[in-house]
Every structure is written in C-alpha cells, then in structure tokens.
C-alpha cells in the first residue's frame, strides 16, 4: 500500500497532516514507511520520529525514474504502507514539464495522491482548484482530498459537496481550523525534532485530530489501489574493512540522509557517533563526517567545548580525512558571527563564517569538479542542494582552494564550493549518496589508508 500527500502550494499543512496520518496508522498496528519528496532534512526527521523508521528521500533531480523506483522499493521493505510527503505545490518543478515535481514522483512509483487543501476564506472555489489539478496532468491520479483549516460545519458541508459534485473525488477528511497543533519554524523551516522536549506528545495530539477528522478506512482503501512495482534484489554485500568513521550527530548537527550513512557502512565503515556538546575529544577514528545543522543556535555551547575543537584541529593536522557539509563547514571555520556575537570554532579552515538575514544559497546545485581531490575525479559533475544563510568572511583568497566550480547554485561565493585543506573537504553543498556512489567508497578508502600510516 502507498500514498502521496500533495497540495496546491506550500504551507497548506502537508507535513502536519502526514505526521498525524503516520501516527494514527501506527496506532492501528501498521508499519509505516515515510518518504519525503525533494531535498530536506528537517521534515524527514519529524517523519522518522512519527513512524519509528528512517524517512527516505525520493528526488528525480538526483535519480532517474528507474533508480528512484528502486530506492522506493528497497526502502519500503517490511512496511505495511508507505506515505510520501510532497514538496511545494503538487506540479511544481525545475522545468516547464515539472519533470521533478511531486506529481512526477508519485507517477513514477504509482502512488495515488491525497490532495491537502488549505480552505481558509474559501468555499466553492475549492472545487475549481481540485478540478484544475484533476485535469492538469490526467495521468496524475488524485484519489482523495483532505480539507484543512475548516471554519465550521456549514463551511465543511459547502466544501465537501462542491468538490464531490464537480470532480467526483471523495473528501476523506476535514480538519477544523486551530485544532491541529503547530510546529514552530525558524529560518530553514520547522524547528528540528531534536530540539523539542515534548515532540512525541505533539505527534500524539496531531494524530488524535486525524483520528477524529479523517476517514482512515477510506485512506487505506485508496492506498490499496496502488499498482504493483518491479521487484529488486535488495541484498547488499558490505565491504569489511572495519574503518572507523566518526559522525558528529546531535541536536546541533542533524542533517544526514540515512542513505548517506548506509552508503558509508556498505563501503566498509564502522560509524562512531560523536556529540559536539558533550564529548571532550575525538574517539579512535580514521575519518570524520560532519553534516549540516544549526551551529549558530548553539554557538556558546560549541565554543565552550574547547577540548573537542582542539582535538579535531590536532587530528586534522595529522592528516585525518574530514568531509563536512554546510553547518559542518561553519564549525570547522575560525569563528562564527551571529546576532552581534562571535564564537570561536575549530580553526581548521582559513576563514570565518557569518550569518545573514536572507538565504545566500537556496535550491538545487550543479557543480563541476575542477581540482584534484580524493572523493571525485576531475570532470565529474555533482548534483546536490544547498540552503544556507551563512557565508565565509575574513579570509585571504590566496588561502582558499576549492574543488568545485558552480554551474548552478551559490556555494561559497557564486563561483566555487568545496574548500580543501589538507585532507579536509568542506562544502555548502549537501550530497545525496545514491546519486554519487563513489563518494562513500572513496571516503572510506581514504580513511582506510590513514590507518596504515
């Protein structure tokens, strides 16, 4: 069974509705596998907590259709139902054809779509919206509608009757206005799940609203109509090298695709998790991976943990291979400037970083590998994504060498990304490992060589 949750536009309530459905279906005894369309880390963390299974990504910018279907099938193993949360509007994509839209992803995996409509200050017009979506791409199956932010029973009746009369698509839920708890937001989207002390209580409250206002039986009946997909051999032979790769993963640095961590393990890595706020020094590792996150929010705490920062700097000087993305780049810089304050960081990169009021880079990236490095051959085209309000500052351009030329996106300065210092590669770009399998293989191989030195 599978479903995709879409909407006419962002901020319609897709994430809240999806979270509530997942928990409600879990309470019915079902194993639910969550997926997220598009590049994202924050929503997937919430979806993972709700499902008790790691949320996986489906993106046609990173993968072709066959690769995406394979990722879906292998990721759904052991689940009773899979739910794909869309991104932005249902048909929104990078090109005129919407080749990477939520609708395109849903068609690729043959998932019927539940359309979430924000009904604020709207009655009969909702039917026109649904009818337009129904016929815009006829091969896209919109199988049901959930009304969100419904004002009162009379409002619901008008909405429900209009949509079902003019489109024939059933309304399978109507969530009252101000009934669904909201998750706070900050500059990159929702506040991360790691920062909510009562996240499970919040999810429980959302699920109760779904149980009261959504026809879960109808939802399951729609999910059961999904067509069969090809079968794939999911056996993966893991390389055995016992290479210990440290991963800084905590409430500060939480932006990791589970696919990336799995790729490292498949390449022979033994992942060792590190807490940037609590651990006093690096453990015995041969490589270090630092993902994105919100180091600016925890500037004081990161600065106070001087022993770990010193340990990282010392190991880098000895040749430790390090791969860092976005927040990880900021942590490796000399200082982080935010909100009128300045915090000392690791001092590995010959620059500072500063937070700006507006995004410096936001969206998909396309980069050409132009300088020698241990991860990618020169000439390799890298597809990824970025979303950062920070930029590097207080640096000598002669001391900054990068391995990527930006063909799409901002990177560190609209021209380049991927700062390389000794065996450190730090980038604003976020990489999705299934689209570049050589990344994990080459990183573990480099770390493995460091064992023998």
Q: In this predicted structure, what is the pLDDT of residue 179?
A: 60
- 201-209 average pLDDT score: 90
Q: In this predicted structure, what is the pLDDT of residue 234?
A: 67
- CA dist list (Å): 289 to 249, 321, 341, 359, 428: 9, 9, 27, 24, 14
Q: In this predicted structure, what is the pLDDT of residue 51?
A: 97
Q: In this predicted structure, what is the pLDDT of residue 187?
A: 47
Query: Which pLDDT tens digit goes with each residue over 115-150?
Result: 999 999 999 999 999 999 999 999 999 999 999 999
How far is Cα 128 from Cα 151, in angstroms, rounded to an integer?
A: 19
How far is Cα 412 from Cα 420, in angstroms, rounded to an integer?
A: 12
**3.30.429.10, 3.40.50.620, 3.40.50.150, 3.40.50.880: CATH of 243-452:** 3.40.50.880
> What contacts 132, CB < 8 A, 6 or more positions away?
none
Tell me the pTM.
0.92
Query: Which pLDDT tens digit goes with each residue over 371-396?
Result: 999 999 999 999 999 999 999 999 99
- 344-355 average pLDDT score: 98
CATH number at 2-223: 3.40.50.300
Spell out the domain ranges in the chain.
2-223, 243-452
Lowest mean pLDDT among 225-239, 281-295, 355-369: 225-239
* Residue ranges of E strands in 204-305: 243-248, 253-255, 269-274, 287-290, 292-293
Region of 326 please: left (phi>0), alpha (psi -120 to 50) or beta. left
Q: In this predicted structure, what is the pLDDT of residue 186?
A: 47
How far is Cα 387 from Cα 409, in angstroms, rounded to an integer?
A: 10
Using the structure block, give the residue that is written with the tokens 């969206």.
363
Edge-to-edge order in the sheet of strand 287-290? 269-274, 243-248, 287-290, 322-325, 424-427, 416-421, 402-408, 361-369, 381-388, 430-431
Q: Which residues are catalytic?
A: 326
Q: In this predicted structure, what is the pLDDT of residue 185?
A: 55
pLDDT at 451 over 80: no
Angle at 174 between CA 168 and CA 177, to 5 degrees: 140
Q: In this predicted structure, what is the pLDDT of residue 188?
A: 46
Axis crossing angle, helix 14-27 with helix 42-51, rounded to the nearest 10: 20
Q: In this predicted structure, what is the pLDDT of residue 194?
A: 66
Q: In this predicted structure, what is the pLDDT of residue 284?
A: 96
How far is Cα 138 from Cα 132, in angstroms, rounded to an integer?
A: 10
How far is Cα 355 from Cα 305, in angstroms, rounded to an integer?
A: 21
Nearest to 164 by CA among 137, 122, 193, 134: 134
- CA 277 from chain centre, in angstroms, equals 23
- Which two three-digit tokens encode residue 20? 């509530």
Percent of the chain with pLDDT over 90: 88
- 227-252 average pLDDT score: 83
pLDDT at 299 over 60: yes
How far is Cα 159 from Cα 128, in angstroms, rounded to an integer?
A: 11
3-state SS, residue 4: strand
- Which two three-digit tokens encode residue 200? 């499970």
How far is Cα 246 from Cα 421, in angstroms, rounded to an integer?
A: 19
- Helical H segments across 76-124, by residue range: 102-108
Using the structure block, give the residue that is written with the tokens 């539940």.
114
How far apart, in Å, do the first and last CA atoms of the chain sit? 51
The mean predicted confidence, pLDDT, of the chain is: 93
Query: Which pLDDT tens digit goes with each residue over 301-321?
Result: 999 999 999 999 999 999 999
Please check whether the two domains, 2-223 and 243-452, share a CATH topology. Answer: yes
């Amino acid at each position: 069974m599978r479903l995709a949750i879409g909407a006419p536009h962002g901020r319609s309530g897709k994430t809240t509705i999806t979270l509530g459905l997942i928990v409600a279906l879990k309470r019915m005894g079902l194993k639910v596998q969550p997926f997220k369309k598009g590049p994202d880390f924050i929503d997937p963390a919430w979806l993972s907590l709700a499902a008790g299974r790691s949320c996986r990504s489906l993106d046609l910018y990173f993968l072709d259709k066959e690769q995406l279907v394979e990722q879906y099938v292998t990721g759904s193993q052991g689940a009773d139902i899979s739910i794909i949360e869309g991104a932005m509007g249902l048909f929104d994509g990078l090109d005129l054809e919407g080749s990477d839209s939520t609708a395109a992803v849903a068609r690729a995996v043959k998932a019927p779509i539940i359309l979430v409509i924000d009904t604020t200050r709207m009655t009969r017009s909702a039917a026109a919206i649904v009818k337009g979506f129904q016929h815009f791409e006829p091969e896209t199956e919109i199988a049901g509608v959930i009304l969100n932010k419904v004002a009162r029973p009379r409002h619901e009746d008008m909405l429900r009757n209009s949509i079902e009369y003019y489109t024939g698509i059933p309304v399978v839920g109507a969530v009252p206005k101000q009934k669904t708890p909201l998750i706070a937001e900050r500059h990159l989207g929702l506040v991360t799940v790691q920062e909510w002390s009562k996240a499970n209580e919040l999810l429980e409250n959302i699920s109760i609203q779904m149980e009261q206002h959504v026809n879960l039986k109808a939802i399951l009946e729609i999910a059961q109509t999904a067509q069969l997909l090809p079968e794939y051999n999911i056996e993966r032979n893991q390389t055995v090298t016992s290479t210990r790769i440290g991963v800084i993963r905590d409430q500060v640095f939480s932006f990791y695709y589970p696919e990336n961590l799995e790729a490292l393990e498949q390449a022979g890595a033994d992942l060792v998790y590190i807490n940037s706020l609590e651990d006093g020094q690096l453990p015995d590792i041969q490589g270090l991976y630092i993902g994105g996150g919100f180091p600016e929010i925890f500037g004081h705490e990161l600065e106070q943990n001087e022993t770990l920062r010193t340990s990282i700097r010392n190991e880098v000087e000895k040749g430790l291979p390090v791969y860092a993305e976005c927040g990880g780049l900021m942590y490796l810089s000399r200082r982080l400037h935010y909100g009128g304050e300045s915090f000392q960081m690791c001092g590995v990169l010959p620059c500072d970083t500063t937070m700006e009021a507006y995004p410096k880079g936001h969206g998909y990236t396309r980069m050409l590998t132009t300088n020698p490095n241990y991860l990618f051959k020169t000439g390799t085209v890298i597809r990824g994504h970025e979303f950062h309000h920070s930029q590097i500052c207080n640096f000598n351009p002669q001391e900054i060498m990068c391995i990527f030329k930006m063909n799409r996106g901002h990177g560190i300065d609209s021209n380049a990304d991927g700062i390389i210092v000794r065996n450190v590669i730090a980038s604003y770009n976020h990489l999705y490992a299934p689209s570049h399998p050589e990344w994990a293989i080459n990183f573990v191989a480099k770390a493995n060589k460091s064992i023998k030195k």
